[in-house]
Amino acid sequence: MASTANASTSDKVTVLTADLVLSQWQGHRRLTRRVIEAFPEDKLFSFSVGGMRPFSELAMEFVKMAEPIVRGVATGKWAAFGSSAWPDTKAALLALWDKATEEIDAVWPTIPAHRFAEVDKAFGQWENSGIGTILYAIDNEIHHRGKEYVYLRALGIDPPAFYDRS
């Protein structure tokens, strides 16, 4: 990469600390929770465009990734992917969501500093650095949640504002 006399040495510039990544993620998780809430109960478990999965399945994918990834990065121990209970109501899904939110906040500060850069096999399968696995989970959530904005519009429902993470 080209550099000039005035350039920062951007390979050494810290732009995100662990706390900032957590607060960014929890902001996205609050928005995702509002998207879950915006779905009518039956549509949450059944509505599809183009043969894609209904949102309940995607939201459960997020639940199965989020807290287990934080715990795996913290401890180096990984359970098999996808062993969570399966909710069949919006309230049950939101309860799992809220439990994950609390657990992420509790486990996050116990991640040893070196584990963010250390390469590991997430769920025994996917090799990446700790931060790489965490960013994948965040990006995957944003990506799939984006689809749900189309689902909601197709249902005639205004989705929550993307920029609001409060």
Q: What contacts 99, CB < 8 A, 6 or more positions away?
A: none
| Residue from 52, 81, 84, 160 in contact with a copy of itself (CB under 8 A) | 52
Q: Is 81 in the site for a copy of itself (CB under 8 A)?
A: no
Q: Is 85 in the site for a copy of itself (CB under 8 A)?
A: no
Q: Would you put residue 73 in left (φ > 0), alpha (ψ -120 to 50) or beta?
A: alpha
Q: Is 28 in the site for a copy of itself (CB under 8 A)?
A: yes
**H or E segment at 122?**
strand 119-122
Q: Is 143 in the site for a copy of itself (CB under 8 A)?
A: yes
Nearest to 108 by CA among 141, 79, 66, 146: 66
Q: Is 98 in the site for a copy of itself (CB under 8 A)?
A: no
Nearest to 113 by CA among 74, 76, 69: 74
Which residue is it, tokens 């197709």?
A: 154
CB of 91 to a copy of itself, least distance (A): 26
| Residue from 105, 118, 127, 164 in contact with a copy of itself (CB under 8 A) | 105
Binding-site ranges for a copy of itself (CB under 8 A): 1-4, 6-8, 10-22, 24, 28, 49-52, 105-106, 108-113, 116-117, 131, 135-136, 139-140, 142-147, 149-155, 162-163
